[in-house]
Structure 1
Amino acid sequence: MRWSLKQNPDSQIIQHLKSTLNVSPLIATLLAQRGVDSFEKAKKFFRPNLADLYNPYLMKDMDKAVERIEKAIKTNERILVFGDYDVDGTTAVALMSSYLKSFYPDVDTYIPDRYAEGYGISNQGIDYAEDNGISLIIALDCGIKSIDKIEYANQKGIDFVICDHHLPGDEVPNAVAVLDPKQKDCNYPFKELCGCGVGFKLIQALAANRGETIEDLIPYLDLVATAIAADIVPIVDENRILAYFGLQVINSNPRQGILAMKKQFAIKEFTITDVVFKIAPRINAAGRIKHGNYAVRLLTEFNLEEAIECAKEIDEFNNNRRVLDQQITEEALQQILENKEENTYTSVVYHESWHKGVIGIVASRLIETYYRPTLVFTKSGDYLAASARSVKGFDVYEALEKCSEHIVQFGGHMYAAGLTIKVSEYENFKVKFEEVVKSSITIEQKSEEIEIDAIVDFNEFDEKTLRILKQFEPHGPGNMTPVFFTSNVFDTGNAQCIGKNNEHLRMFVKQNHTQAFPAIAFKKGDMIDAIRNLKLMNLVYSLSENHWKDKIFVQLQVKDIRTQ
């Protein structure tokens, strides 16, 4: 694992922030790294304000979308809210449907079946609308490339309002309204909303049209924050505001479905990390193992007892997902060993029985062992389907383009993609993909990198600094949790292995005469003897809060250790 230190920001900016904000050089450096270089920007960073959300009507076609929905309500049309089966899609469907139902009853929801229909708008969904007398579909987190599907709907007299955040192709669907800030001719100031975020802008516009204020929409922000966390969009600008207030709702007055999920954990205050690792996987598990409708039902349930039962059901799906994930990962790792492919440039594995709903997770797991572009295939009808995952800096989508003669279809982005191939093309594709990656991957991309924000001594973490660091939250892309490097650290003699298989390492570490900090190093249990015997070590870590028996204390979350 490589360690790299981020370049120091301009010293004049650091000095300016130090004096105007009355903060330490460390805080000033971290702010400057995140593009905060003035008092005004610092105020917006530390004090998010709903008043700073952009006018939704700045988004292209917003007026058309509102007009069409209001017409449907006025003329008593049936409305179908359609969304993808992942967290972003199901939260968006829950958001839009629950808002519309608060004043208009004739609203239905539709989530495509992951296996029978696949991703995005489907002919089956449009047929469902036709069969049920639905004349308007609001599509969320999908649709921007569904040219043929929208044409199919138009032929049936069914209108579409599309709310998407994916990159458009050369042509945009012929829908009544297409809301997507990534359209070239859309002047919306912030381009990095998730699908649920675009849906929120639509209900913000509808609310304004109906004389409501942003405060009336605060109860919906728990869904938006969950989608922002799960979809790994940059938590900057408008997303930071939405995530900040959404977390407040999650922690103070969440909808019954989220409250039911929270009750399974002894956590007083959820962070974005808790949402990512505890709430999001459960919502996702519904679509992976059973059907995304379970997630929508949970997120729109008003009765707590019903929500708790639904949450238990979804938790069982998640448990099944975990078992499958672990089992398939072990089988895939064994396959790599048996094929003597430990030292290749790629991991490409296949078994016809592997569950399609977890192969993406398995691909990510394999990268933890073999850090390289990875594809996991399974049988899907008459074809093979795969999920691809990549490593930092390597564009797996571009690599797949170079293998297109062996692929039936594929889609995705730089770090994650999905593809379908003929069964007969598996070996040919595998050879070609290895060749492409081997010829284009750099030395740096072949090993995992930890980016360090700052070199610090433990005595820099005084009470004021720790308090300000807490206010850097919520963290995410564009504002990642700060990573620190500290040298000449030693364990106080209390190092121990913890976890089911003693795979994790717990220490109490000091530097010179500083206070001792508790530290947790995941998957470093095999270093226990070295830690006990050595005098000094260098640590790369971030700070986290640990809640234990009604006490809150700061601990080091160690990312890597080097012995001296």
Structure 2
Amino acid sequence: MTLINWEKRKNPTKQEIDKFAQSKKVTPVVAELLLERDIVEDSDIEAFLHSDVTELQDPFGLHDMDKALELIDEAVESEKKIAIYGDYDADGVTSTSIMKLTLQKLGNKPIFYVPDRFKDGYGPNLERYKELADQGIDLLITVDNGVSGKDEIKYLKDRGVKVIVTDHHDLPKELPEADAIVHPSIPGAEYVCPYLSGAGVAFKIADALLGDEALQLIDLAAIGTVADAVALKGENRVIVTEGLKQMKNNNHVGLSALLDKCKVRLSNVTEEDIGFRIAPRINALGRLENASSGVELLTTGDESFAKEIVDETEDINARRQDLVASAFADAQNQIQAQKDNGVIVLKGNGWHQGILGIVASRTMDQENKPVLATQFDDNSGVMKGSGRSPEGFNLFTALDKHRDLFTAFGGHAQACGFSIEEDKLDELTKLLQDEPSQQGFDPKAPVVKNYDLQLNIADLSMDLIKQVQQLAPFGMGNPKPIIKLGNVSLSQMRSIGKDASHLKTQITDEQHRIDAIGFGMFEKAASLTTNLCDVYGELGINEWRGKKNLQLMIDDFQVSPQAQVLADLKNVYLDYRNKGLSTKILEHFDAVVFFNEAYLEAAKRFNVKTDLIMYNENCDGKNVLIYDRPHNLELFQKFIKNNKTQHTALFFHTDLTSRYLKPDMIKMKALLKYLYSHQNITMEGMDLVAKYLNMQKNDVDFYLKVFFELNFVKIVNGFVEKANASQQRELIESPTYLKRLQRNDVEKILIESSFDDLLSWMSDYDCHC
């Protein structure tokens, strides 16, 4: 199991937060989150918190946008045949859909082609380009791909086909000789938002061609932006924010049908719904089938046809989930067998090639190691594979050293795809094992993650959710804030889900509680030695039967440092405070320790066959029992500081319970007032005074002794009278009163507290900690 070290993203002081909140007119919570994200300038804060359509940038700021529009306008006006070449993931499907709908709004009827993951591979494919050219196309527009298609695009150019490349991926050393390349990162012509998704680039073309009418397509651009995990900064925030608003207008019957199938209400759709419900279903099409149906879904105006595609999509997604679960379970034996390997290489047993990346990703999360997941492909006769690696390990660098072993290879630092002959896979596996050490990557080192807010359960509220939501949409570059709840308990833990792997629990402190869910966390919770934890998670709302309740989605929980200290101390200290003692029990200990000599002398008369010693004698390494309680806490503190015992039983006997009564200020004042207002009261008459004032006689004796010590009263001719005190005195100046307070502290901490609370107090002084 991967260890996680949680660190605060940043640590602004309370004074800094309050000052920032006041000057920027935001709440302290929003102020802290902005400071953590280095969003401090007024203009940046305004753009971040209040993204709207007016912040969409001029589309003609993109490289070759003017050329692309000329080509498209000419092709539309001349009624030329236009083809769109897309990609099979959610970004590619939405890019293709945006371009198709844009051209249709201009009066053109384009054809489109979405590559097949298994037949065509990623990006430009020469065979498919030949087929399109043979169909007599005049213009090809690539979306979400194309910059790597130098040779393929040259073929089309040689056939007299015009080519517009729209892409956002990393640029190769040589760009293709297309008629126009619309890309946000062309050197010398970098766009103001260089991290647009493929769908974002396609939307900018729609914006240039259609103007305000393009806003009807921004919801599709939002899906591609979230799905492709590009940074939600700058214009990307505007695209997602406005896209979510646009979804509520129900412009696309296919998207509405998909949301309905996902049980997402149009009025309440969020970026999380895109990331966890919509995008996975669209991606499933390209993983198991052909993603062309996804384009048909997002561009159709036929509700019944849309419903058919959605039902098919749901079936495919469910099959994808089952295939992933089966393959991942099948992989566990291989994972266990390679537990000492630096890089894990999995060989599929009939695994579907479309889910290899997911299996690699889940294994990476589980083991915190680079993973290659492979499966033999009957059509090509080679192993097809997909790799994933954690931050800190460059998978592309590791594999690129052995490029000669692959029949095909591509990717980047954290993900790759490849083909390799089966007999060379074992060779590659051996060559990769030294790579983690060569790159200085330790898979056993804890993974560092950040949390944003440290709060108490009492701080969690619907209003807090509203404050946090001001920073939405969340995603890459703007993660949803993680809340830390420190030193809380997990209670009422139970397993849920088909495989009973998920955790449903309540997080509690002494006075408050909140429901919580932790996916895949029941086994970890069941193995806890203590339920006192630090919990990290995202605050949300669980709606059930029309009722809304707060709920924490748990990202992680760890035994808190304080809980670990208590667990360690429980290996040393034993709670004997409510146990009965006998001579036989005492003789199990190496020594019995006393704080009061009177108890020590009394114990000696019983001839106990063990050492009877005072608290100031050395007890290091011994098994001891503390028999009585000290008169003040300092004595006990010194004992636990100076004696590293093997085990210590805490009995804390006393027969002086009446002396541990808490002084009652009201009764003290009542007694003093009575003595001041009455004459001829003798010490012998105090029984009657106590009875008249409804007080215990021992309380009256105690209060009277304090009054004498503070010179509030005196004895004159056998009578108690008011003294002529020359200065005001504090009760704590009375030795008797101070002693009583000290004994009350002993009673409260050593006797009345729970064992956990007692050990928690002791941990500040104990030499075992």
The answer on 1:348 being equivalent to 2:345 is: yes
The answer on 1:519 being equivalent to 2:516 is: yes
Alpha-carbon shift at residue 87 of structure 1 (Å): 0.8
Q: Is the Cα contact below 8 Å between 1:13 and 1:37 reproduced in 2? A: no
Q: How does 1:130-279 map to 2 (within 5 A)?
A: 130-207=133-210, 212-213=211-212, 216-268=213-265, 269-279=268-278
Q: How does 1:537-548 map to 2 (within 5 A)?
A: 537-548=533-544
Higher-Rg member (1/2): 2
Q: Does the residue aligned with 1:466 lie in a helix, a strand or coil?
A: helix
Counterpart code for 1:364:
S
Instruction: Please identify, of 283-292 and 348-357, the stretch whose mean Cα deviation from structure 2 is larger.
Output: 348-357
Counterpart in 1 of 2:763? none
Counterpart in 1 of 2:4? 2
Counterpart in 1 of 2:293? 294
Q: 1:512 to 1:356 in 2, by over 3 A?
A: same
Counterpart code for 2:410:
G
Instruction: Name the CA distance, whole Å, in 1 between partners of 2:531 and 2:557.
Output: 13
Instruction: Name the CA distance, whole Å, in 2 between partners of 1:293 and 1:558.
Output: 37
Alpha-carbon shift at residue 138 of structure 1 (Å): 0.6
Q: Residue 507 of structure 1 is aligned with which of 502, 505, 508?
A: 505
Counterpart in 2 of 1:408? 407
The answer on 1:128 being equivalent to 2:135 is: no
Q: How large is the RMSD of aligned CA atoms in angstroms?
A: 2.1
Alpha-carbon shift at residue 78 of structure 1 (Å): 0.6
Alpha-carbon shift at residue 463 of structure 1 (Å): 5.0
Q: Does the residue aligned with 1:118 lie in a helix, a strand or coil?
A: coil
Alpha-carbon shift at residue 430 of structure 1 (Å): 0.9
Q: Does the residue aligned with 1:276 lie in a helix, a strand or coil?
A: helix
Counterpart in 1 of 2:476? 477
Instruction: Name the CA distance, whole Å, in 1 between partners of 2:461 and 2:286.
Output: 45
Counterpart in 2 of 1:82? 85
Q: 1:535 to 1:448 in 2, by over 3 A?
A: closer
Superposed structure 1 runs of 4+ greater than 6 Å apart: none
Instruction: Name the CA distance, whole Å, in 2 between partners of 1:151 and 1:375.
Output: 34
Alpha-carbon shift at residue 260 of structure 1 (Å): 1.3
Counterpart code for 2:263:
A
Q: Does the residue aligned with 1:134 lie in a helix, a strand or coil?
A: coil
Q: Is the Cα contact below 8 Å between 2:369 and 2:443 reproduced in 1? A: no
Instruction: Name the CA distance, whole Å, in 2 between partners of 1:127 and 1:453.
Output: 53
Alpha-carbon shift at residue 223 of structure 1 (Å): 1.0
Q: How does 1:88-127 map to 2 (within 5 A)?
A: 88-127=91-130
Counterpart code for 1:425:
K
Alpha-carbon shift at residue 27 of structure 1 (Å): 2.4
Unaligned runs of 5+ in 1: none
The answer on 1:559 being equivalent to 2:558 is: no
Instruction: Please identify, of 165-174 and 466-475, the stretch whose mean Cα deviation from structure 2 is larger.
Output: 466-475
Counterpart in 2 of 1:395? 394
Counterpart code for 1:555:
Q
The answer on 1:362 being equivalent to 2:359 is: yes
1:285-319 per-residue CA deviation (whole Å, 9 max, x = no partner) reads 21211111111111111111110011111211212
Instruction: Please identify, of 493-502 and 221-230, the stretch whose mean Cα deviation from structure 2 is larger.
Output: 493-502
The answer on 1:40 being equivalent to 2:37 is: no
Counterpart code for 2:347:
Y
1:509-542 per-residue CA deviation (whole Å, 9 max, x = no partner) reads 23343x42211122222355577x8463211112
Q: Is the Cα contact below 8 Å between 2:81 and 2:139 reproduced in 1? A: yes
Alpha-carbon shift at residue 22 of structure 1 (Å): 3.4
Q: Does the residue aligned with 1:469 lie in a helix, a strand or coil?
A: helix
Instruction: Name the CA distance, whole Å, in 1 between partners of 2:68 and 2:526.
Output: 64
Counterpart in 1 of 2:335? 336
Q: Does the residue aligned with 1:494 lie in a helix, a strand or coil?
A: strand
Q: Does the residue aligned with 1:139 lie in a helix, a strand or coil?
A: strand
Counterpart code for 1:499:
G
Q: 1:445 to 1:107 in 2, by over 3 A?
A: farther
Counterpart in 1 of 2:375? 378
Q: 1:6 to 1:562 in 2, by over 3 A?
A: closer
Alpha-carbon shift at residue 464 of structure 1 (Å): 3.9
Q: Does the residue aligned with 2:338 lie in a helix, a strand or coil?
A: coil
Q: Is the Cα contact below 8 Å between 1:24 and 1:465 reproduced in 2? A: no
Counterpart code for 2:492:
N
Q: Is the Cα contact below 8 Å between 2:501 and 2:521 reproduced in 1? A: yes
1:399-434 per-residue CA deviation (whole Å, 9 max, x = no partner) reads 212222322332122211111223331111111122
Counterpart code for 1:413:
H
Q: Is the Cα contact below 8 Å between 1:27 and 1:465 reproduced in 2? A: no
Q: Does the residue aligned with 1:67 lie in a helix, a strand or coil?
A: helix
Q: Is the Cα contact below 8 Å between 2:261 and 2:310 reproduced in 1? A: no
Alpha-carbon shift at residue 388 of structure 1 (Å): 0.7
Counterpart code for 2:421:
K
Q: Does the residue aligned with 2:195 lie in a helix, a strand or coil?
A: coil
Counterpart in 2 of 1:304? 303
Q: Does the residue aligned with 1:554 lie in a helix, a strand or coil?
A: strand
Instruction: Name the CA distance, whole Å, in 2 between partners of 1:169 and 1:92.
Output: 21
Q: Is the Cα contact below 8 Å between 1:376 and 1:386 reproduced in 2? A: yes
Instruction: Name the CA distance, whole Å, in 2 between partners of 1:176 and 1:554.
Output: 55
Q: Is the Cα contact below 8 Å between 1:496 and 1:528 reproduced in 2? A: no
Counterpart code for 2:451:
I
Instruction: Name the CA distance, whole Å, in 1 between partners of 2:300 and 2:152.
Output: 31
Alpha-carbon shift at residue 276 of structure 1 (Å): 1.5
Q: What TM-score does the superposition give when structure 1 sets the normalisation length?
A: 0.93
Alpha-carbon shift at residue 73 of structure 1 (Å): 1.1
Instruction: Name the CA distance, whole Å, in 1 between partners of 2:453 and 2:488.
Output: 16
Q: Is the Cα contact below 8 Å between 2:29 and 2:468 reproduced in 1? A: no
Alpha-carbon shift at residue 10 of structure 1 (Å): 5.8
Unaligned runs of 5+ in 2: 564-769
Report how many residues are paired. 553
Q: Is the Cα contact below 8 Å between 2:123 and 2:148 reproduced in 1? A: no
Counterpart in 2 of 1:494? 492
Q: Is the Cα contact below 8 Å between 2:461 and 2:550 reproduced in 1? A: no
Q: Is the Cα contact below 8 Å between 1:181 and 1:187 reproduced in 2? A: yes
The answer on 1:54 being equivalent to 2:50 is: no
Instruction: Name the CA distance, whole Å, in 1 between partners of 2:19 and 2:357.
Output: 46
Q: 1:89 to 1:16 in 2, by over 3 A?
A: same
Q: Is the Cα contact below 8 Å between 2:342 and 2:435 reproduced in 1? A: no
Alpha-carbon shift at residue 46 of structure 1 (Å): 1.7
Q: 1:552 to 1:441 in 2, by over 3 A?
A: farther
Q: Is the Cα contact below 8 Å between 2:483 and 2:538 reproduced in 1? A: yes
Instruction: Name the CA distance, whole Å, in 2 between partners of 1:364 and 1:6.
Output: 26
Q: Is the Cα contact below 8 Å between 1:397 and 1:414 reproduced in 2? A: yes
Q: What TM-score does the superposition give when structure 2 sets the normalisation length?
A: 0.69
Q: Residue 549 of structure 1 is aligned with which of 537, 545, 556?
A: 545
Alpha-carbon shift at residue 135 of structure 1 (Å): 0.9
Q: Is the Cα contact below 8 Å between 1:92 and 1:141 reproduced in 2? A: yes
Instruction: Name the CA distance, whole Å, in 2 between partners of 1:118 and 1:462.
Output: 49
1:27-80 per-residue CA deviation (whole Å, 9 max, x = no partner) reads 212112223113332222121111111111111111111111111112111110
* Higher RCO (C-alpha 8 Å, min separation 6): 1
Counterpart in 1 of 2:767? none
Q: Does the residue aligned with 1:408 lie in a helix, a strand or coil?
A: strand
Counterpart code for 1:504:
H
The answer on 1:281 being equivalent to 2:280 is: yes
Counterpart code for 1:519:
A
Counterpart code for 2:522:
G
Q: How does 1:318-333 map to 2 (within 5 A)?
A: 318-333=317-332
Q: Does the residue aligned with 1:308 lie in a helix, a strand or coil?
A: helix
Q: Does the residue aligned with 2:164 lie in a helix, a strand or coil?
A: strand
Q: Residue 65 of structure 1 is aligned with which of 41, 63, 68?
A: 68
Instruction: Please identify, of 157-166 and 431-440, the stretch whose mean Cα deviation from structure 2 is larger.
Output: 431-440
Q: Is the Cα contact below 8 Å between 2:368 and 2:443 reproduced in 1? A: no
